């Protein structure tokens, strides 16, 4: 895939509420140093949300979530995997969108080398896999999403979405802030039937 910076693309308003940004990101193109693809699954988190890292206020770990929007919040999950989030809302609020899965489109050789496997379906189907495939580490924490190495291209096309409960949380499990591209084979896990 060749990215065409002159192509008409809808800008993403990262200052909007996280659930709106999470929906808007479905179908957008994300690359890091030229490696990436189409975002097919996201989860929204907000300061008022008990499942959010920002719920109890700023800490050394989550302080980036309270910074300006359109920045990367990168944290370690279960002490094993890095996870990539996009900071939303106004500075000081504490909201973000977790990138759960992308459809690999460019830089697949680099992804395969980083992940140590071949099937494209498994390269970026889960937040830890996304970060590993894109080469995301804590060194990216706090970086602007609007500058290199990040490239984000919103889409004019409207994509069919599915939504449902978020994954792997123990609080606010009923909040349907997980969003996915309907019919995508690159999701981290299927959405419940009827969503």
Instruction: Please give the pLDDT value at position 9.
Output: 57
pTM above 0.85, yes or no: yes
Check pLDDT > 90 for residue 56. Answer: no
As a whole number of angstroms, the distance between CA 94 and CA 46 comes to 6
Check pLDDT > 60 for residue 45. Answer: yes
Residue pair 51/171 in contact (Cβ under 8 Å)? The answer is yes
Task: Tell me which architecture the domain covering 18-181 has in CATH.
Answer: Roll (3.10)
Strands (E), the chain: 29-32, 35-45, 72-77, 81-88, 95-106, 150-153, 161-164, 178-181
Check pLDDT > 50 for residue 7. Answer: no
Mean pLDDT of 49-70: 84
Mean pLDDT of 136-155: 96
Mean pLDDT of the chain: 89
As a whole number of angstroms, the distance between CA 38 and CA 21 comes to 15
């Amino acid at each position: 895939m060749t990215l065409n910076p002159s192509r008409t693309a809808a800008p993403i308003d990262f200052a909007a509420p996280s659930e709106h940004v999470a929906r808007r990101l479905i179908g957008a193109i994300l690359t890091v140093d030229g490696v990436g693809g189409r975002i097919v699954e996201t989860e929204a988190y907000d300061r008022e949300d008990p499942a959010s890292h920002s719920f109890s206020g700023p800490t050394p770990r989550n302080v980036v979530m309270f910074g300006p929007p359109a920045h990367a919040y990168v944290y370690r999950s279960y002490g094993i995997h890095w996870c990539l989030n996009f900071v939303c809302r106004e500075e000081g609020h504490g909201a973000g969108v977790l990138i759960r899965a992308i459809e690999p489109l460019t830089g697949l050789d680099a992804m395969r080398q980083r992940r140590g496997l071949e099937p494209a379906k498994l390269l970026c189907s889960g937040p830890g896999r996304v970060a590993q495939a894109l080469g995301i580490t804590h060194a990216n924490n706090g970086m602007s999403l609007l500058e290199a190495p990040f490239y984000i291209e919103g889409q004019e096309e409207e994509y069919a979405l599915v939504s449902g409960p978020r994954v792997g949380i123990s609080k606010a499990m009923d909040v349907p802030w997980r969003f996915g591209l309907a019919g995508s084979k690159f999701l981290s896990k299927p959405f419940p039937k009827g969503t």
